[in-house]
Amino acid sequence: MDLENQRRVKDIAEANGPENVMVILGAAEGEAAGLAAETVTLGDPTYAGPLTGVSLKLEVYHICEQEIKDQIPEDVYDEQISMMEMVLDVDDIVSEMQAIRDQI
């Protein structure tokens, strides 16, 4: 994850308490989604950014996951996201996200 984004995530989690923060991802690939999810939960696996060695354990989902989709008005989801469900490998993204959440 971009170093500036890591810094902002860290600052917001510290200011509000990690338990009050949720991260929503839009990654194009399962692997990238998993890496971003790992960064905001267990710490930056690439050892490059401010979240290196910082385990925030934030709640994290991809926008295409059912748990999130269910909370969004159908017409808005359809307009903003639905076309990409035909493009992205949603099953792969969900399994990568779940694998990280299982480690928390």
Site of interaction with another protein (CB under 8 A): 1-5, 8-9, 12, 16, 20-29, 31-32, 35-36, 40, 46-49, 58-59, 63-64, 67-68, 71-73, 76-77, 79-84, 86-88
* φ, ψ at 13 (rounded to 5°): -65, -40
Q: Cα–Cα distance between 82 and 64 in angstroms, integer?
A: 9
CB of 65 to another protein, least distance (A): 10
- Least separation, in Å, of the C-beta of 101 and another protein? 10
Minimal distance, residue 7 CB to another protein, in Å = 10
Element (H, E) at 59: strand 59-62
Length of the chain equals: 104
